[in-house]
Structure 1
Amino acid sequence: MFQTFTETASPDQGPPRLAQLRAAMASERLDGYLVPRADAHQGEYVAPGDERLAWLTGFTGSAGFCIVLNDLAGVFVDGRYRVQVKAQVDTNHFTPVNWPEMKPADWLRANLPDGGGVGFDPWLYTPEQIDAMEAGLKDSGISLIPCTNLVDRIWPDRPDPPKGAIRPYPEALAGLTHAQKRATLAAELTASAQAAAVITLPDSIAWLLNIRGSDIPRNPVPHAFAILHATGKVTLFVDPDKLDDHVRTHLGGDVVLRPPSAFGPALHSLGGPVRLDHKSVPLWVMHELDQGGVIRHWGDDPCILPKACKTPAEIDATREAHLRDGAAVCEFLTWFDDQPHGSITEIDVVRKLEDCRRATGVLLDISFDTIAGSGPNGALAHYRVSTSSNRRLTSGDLLVLDGGGQYLDGTTDITRTLPVGPPGDAERTAFTRVLQGMIAMSRVRWPAGLAGRDLDVLARYPLWLADQDYAHGTGHGVGVNLCVHEGPQRLARISEVPLRPGMILSNEPGYYREGAFGIRIENLLVVHDAAPLPGGDMAGKLCFETLNFVPINTRLVMSDMLTEDERRWLNEYHATCRAKIAPRLGDAGRLWLEKATAPV
């Protein structure tokens, strides 16, 4: 299996490691130290040797950080992880902090009132992050001090960097050759009077060069750094052990291969101006350019928007991936509905769903560890089942099942909430509100130029009417055989990036009642130009196309809460599921699908 169920960190190791870190701080005469969950590539998913936050604290969530002082250690987590963090850290030594409500600068001001020096690794922080923190610390007497990584110093068996093999990505699926991509972006640099751009995001490098890697589980990206020159050539800094002759031939003569150790000297030798992305490049890179006297300009990673706006070939490919994956999920649901109540566990669910995806014969990996949270575990938005947390599904439970696959032609992500036995009225009412928000987002048409923050409210409105909400964004960007969480597109209150045709986003409102149950419904959507409506007088509208086709469990729907338009959408969606998925199923699956898509 791709997914395992062992505990990856332990709270009891936190206190002695914290003591060692404080001793290292004392040796450097530091009053504090920042420990992010980040690597030099600012990836959400990191290699084992970059799991510094988990190693130190025990907290294994995908976002957060720790600030260690001499007498206090705050673990900052957002709304997805506020229950989880309490179970994973020793709260006698680590204090959970609600972030982003509490800013790190404000916390430091409150807990270092006399000022002091706070160390950090400049490889693990971006200029934007440090600038924001320094602005918040102005006139506080607290200074941020770049230094070597103190956690690495005290981590005796820290795993080595990964050396996963790199492979070419088919141009027929990408829609463009890497020479075409390089030429287009080089022309943009020339138009901006920039000589080069430094690229440090692995998925940007993978997209630009039509390659995929295997350094990070679930995300087919390589760890590497790149410099894109205004000539269209690229210097790629990568471990040579990751490359075979096939990949070298694919890259060709316009991609110069250098070892990672050559990255710093190459930065010093660049002729400027050089573009840096303030939001993603390590601060270390900025320091190296400054030491070399190289002029730098702030600007977005040149790959970000082109990667987000998928080509027609990528959209066609990912449609097929989602139909294949949808059939696999329906085969799972056929099995699931046939299991006696109390006979299976969360781990059984995860294993069976992965087996159904593997049965396609083309699954490369899962796109993230499957979330299978039943009852109170479902209230943990990013729950990961382990042998110690594994729970047997019992009558009355809701199961939040969120998973996806990595296929050569697409990255999938889908969530369904499933009842075990008869669901309660409170659960059905909340589920229906979540469904109404999901339908509203699926149906919306909007003027070009609006961002995710402008649409996010649509999914929350039905819940807000009942004084309910969810503490995560409504949707994230998704790649094509790349990262399941992709920027810059998002459906979230903080997203200011205008939505554009070709962008793929998730649509996943939810509701979570701590200690009781969770609900989430998710489909992926792709942005398109909207066809004009008869009688309309407004051009330039955009709309969404739904990519996932798996029935939504109607046993959880309070049909009298739905409007006629909402009921029509649900019935039409289910009719489309039957038409698209039934031919891909076995006999039992087709019978199950017919019943699951009966009109409401």
Structure 2
Amino acid sequence: MGVLNKVVNTIRNIFGSGKTSTPDNTSARLAELRKLMQQEQIDFYLAPSIDAHNSEYVPECWQRRTWISNFTGSAGEALIGLNEALLSTDGRYFLQADQELNAKYFTLLKQQGFVPETELWLKKNTQGKTLGIDAKLIGIARFNQLNNLMTSLGGKLVKLSENLIDKARANLNEQLPLPNTPALTLDIKYTGQSTKDKLTWLRGEIKAIGTDFIALNALDEIAWLFNIRGNDIDFNPYVISYVLVSADKAVLYADNNKFTADMIVELVKSGITVKPYDEFYADAGKIETSVLLDDKVASQWMLDAISANVNKVFVPSPIVLKKSRKNLTEISG
């Protein structure tokens, strides 16, 4: 251990401590969040690192876990209680978390793998307590796990109408706007397959599965399906968006300002309607028959948008496997 400590100290001396250069506002931020938690009558609040699209890398305005904990790693989640605060992450980030977390306020939960320690801690420490979440940030499968866990403990899981960290940021004048960067469409000479052909294939897949709609929130799947790229997230060429596809409709929910008039025309020619990002929830509520949802990726908020009478089929999105099989154009680069 002595040799290892010397190596670690040498690395720190060469590259710095890894701490952020911004002031540590942990105390003020936790105090503001806890005030909101008390107003909502919850004992704990879960702050995942992902966004509403299950993205590992998210725009700065949605880096909620980073904002509350000061931990900047790409994986992990914070659990904030009225009297304690915890950060769960895996072994890739133990040293970084140790450097970035303020030990006065945060306890590090060290994952033994890639499954968060959060549930284990909740099981031991939250008998009869209330856990609050933002349903946009919790996948359907995990929501069910958390709900079952809290019920078994005599507590409850509460879906809040607003993200409390966003609200705390706004109260402290630290909120950032959503990115508004231009999008672009890729020519078939780069993709090897047109958007029309991809939609024809996808419609065949969802018909074979036995559903009339598919709802998508994964940005990489949307980018592949519609041959679009963007700059909303650093180092990730995606456009923040949702998608609904049926036998006769394909709707892209995104900020219209990201697309030029020529791009809108091109998308329309491919059979795509572009609607405002915020209209996805209402339109999902208009589905009357059946819908495919990937319950590991789609959020509980998406499920809540859909009528209870609609048949939901929870299977992996067929796009995941399809886009992993590169065509000759993609292979040639």
TM over 0.5: yes
**SS at 2:179's partner residue?**
coil
Shift of 1:195: 0.6
Structure 1: how far apart are the matches of 2:238 and 2:302?
21
Which residue does the alignment assign to 2:5? none
Which of 89, 99, 120 in structure 2 is aligned with 1:77? 89
Q: State whether structure 2 residue 83 is matched by structure 1 residue 66.
A: no
Which residue of structure 1 aligns with residue 126 of structure 2?
A: 112
User: Structure 1: which amino acid aligns with 2:311?
Assistant: I
Paired residue secondary structure (1:76):
strand
Q: Which residue of the other structure, out of 293, 299, 304, is the alignment partner of 2:320?
A: 304
3-state SS of paired residue (1:290) = coil
Aligned counterpart, 2:278:
261
- Local SS of the residue matching 1:97: strand
Structure 1 segment 263-302 matched on structure 2, within 5 A: 263-290=280-307, 293-302=309-318
Q: Deviations over 1:33-85 (max 9, x none)?
A: 00111111111111111011111110000010011112211100101100100
5 Å matches for 1:426-445? none
2:67 aligns to what? 55
Offset at 1:290? 3.2
206, 209, 229: which one aligns with 1:212: 229
Q: Is the 8 A contact 1:11 1:88 kept in 2?
A: no
Q: Deviation at 1:125?
A: 0.9
Deviation at 1:105, TM superposition (A): 2.0
TM-score, normalised with respect to structure 1: 0.50
Q: CA deviation at 1:138?
A: 4.8
Whether 1:14 and 2:26 are equivalent positions in the alignment is yes
Distance 1:45 1:77 in 2: 15
What's the C-alpha RMSD, in Å, of the aligned pairs? 1.9
SS of the equivalent of 2:313 reads strand
Equivalent position to 1:125, from 134, 138, 154 = 138
Q: Choose which of 243, 248, 255 in structure 2 pairs with 1:226.
A: 243
Match of 1:164 in 2: 181
Secondary structure of the 1:151 match is helix
Q: Is the 8 A contact 1:227 1:235 kept in 2?
A: yes
SS of residue in 1 equivalent to 2:73: coil
Residue type matched to 1:126 in 2? Answer: G
- Relative to its length, the structure with more helix (as a share) is 2
1:461 paired residue number:
none
* 2:12 alignment counterpart: none
| Residues 15 and 90, structure 1, Cα contact 8 Å, conserved in 2 | no
**Is the counterpart of residue 195 in structure 1 residue 212 in structure 2?**
yes
Match of 1:43 among 43, 55, 71: 55
Q: What SS does the aligned partner of 2:121 have?
A: helix
Partner of 1:345: none
Q: Deviations over 1:178-209 (max 9, x none)?
A: 11110011011112221110011111111001
Q: CA deviation at 1:10?
A: 4.5
- The TM-score with structure 2 as length reference comes to 0.88
2:250 is equivalent to residue 237 of structure 1: no
Contact 1:195 1:271 in 2 (8 A): no
Q: Give the conservation status (yes or no) of the 8 Å contact 2:287–2:307.
A: no
Identity of aligned pairs, percent?
28
Residue 151 of structure 1: how far off its partner (Å): 0.6
Q: Looking at both structures, which has the greater relative contact order when contacts are Cα pairs under 8 Å and sequence separation is at least 6?
A: 2
Does the aligned pair in 1 maintain the 2:138–2:299 contact within 8 Å?
yes
Deviations 1:464-517 (A, max 9, x none): xxxxxxxxxxxxxxxxxxxxxxxxxxxxxxxxxxxxxxxxxxxxxxxxxxxxxx
Give the structure with higher Rg (CA).
Answer: 1
**Aligned residue identity for 1:53:** R
Deviation at 1:238, TM superposition (A): 0.9
Kept in 1, the 8 Å contact 2:20–2:100? The answer is no
Deviations 1:190-242 (A, max 9, x none): 122211100111111110011111111111110011001123x3111111100
3-state SS of 2:55 partner:
coil
Which letter does structure 2 place at the counterpart of 1:250?
E
Question: d(CA) in 1 for partners of 2:49 and 2:136?
Answer: 12
Aligned residues: 310
Report the CA distance between 1:163 and its aligned residue: 1.3
> What are the superposed Cα offsets for residues 400-435 of structure 1, whole Å, 9 maximum, x if unpaired?
xxxxxxxxxxxxxxxxxxxxxxxxxxxxxxxxxxxx
Is the CA contact 1:236–1:258 (under 8 Å) kept in the aligned structure 2?
yes
Instruction: Identify if the C-alpha distance between structure 1 residues 122 and 218 changes in structure 2 by more than 3 Å, giving closer, same or farther.
Output: same
User: Following the alignment from structure 1 to structure 2, what is the Cα–Cα distance between the partners of residues 185 and 259?
Assistant: 23
- The match for 1:413 is none
Q: Distance in 2 between matches of 1:130 and 1:100?
A: 22
| Letter aligned with residue 198 of structure 2 | K
CA distance in 1 between partners of 2:279 and 2:126 (Å): 39
Q: Cα deviation per residue 1:387-406 (whole Å; 9 max; x = unaligned)?
A: xxxxxxxxxxxxxxxxxxxx
Unpaired segments ≥5 residues, structure 2: 1-15
In structure 2, the CA distance between the partners of 1:210 and 1:20, relative to structure 1 (3 Å rule), is same
